[in-house]
Amino acid sequence: LAKTTQPISMDSYEGQEVNITCSHNNIATNDYITWYQQFPSQGPRFIIQGYKTKVTNEVASLFIPADRKSSTLSLPRVSLSDTAVYYCLVGDLAMNYGGSQGNLIFGKGTKLSVKP
Query: Residues interacting with other proteins, by CB under 8 A?
Result: 32, 34, 36, 41-46, 49, 87, 89, 91-97, 100-109
Give me the least distance between CB of 40 and other proteins, in Å please.
11
Which of 15, 102 has the CB closer to other proteins? 102
Give me the least distance between CB of 47 and other proteins, in Å please.
10
Q: How far is CA 78 from CA 13, 41, 66, 101, 105, in A?
A: 7, 21, 27, 37, 27
Which of 72, 95 has the CB closer to other proteins? 95
Under a CB-based contact definition with an 8 Å cutoff, are residues 84 and 37 in contact?
Answer: yes
Give me the least distance between CB of 108 and other proteins, in Å please.
5
Within 13 A of 35's CA, how many CA atoms are on the CB side? 31
Identity (one letter) of the amino acid at 1? Answer: L
Query: 80 — phi, psi (to 5°)?
Result: -60, -35
Which of 44, 78 has the CB closer to other proteins? 44
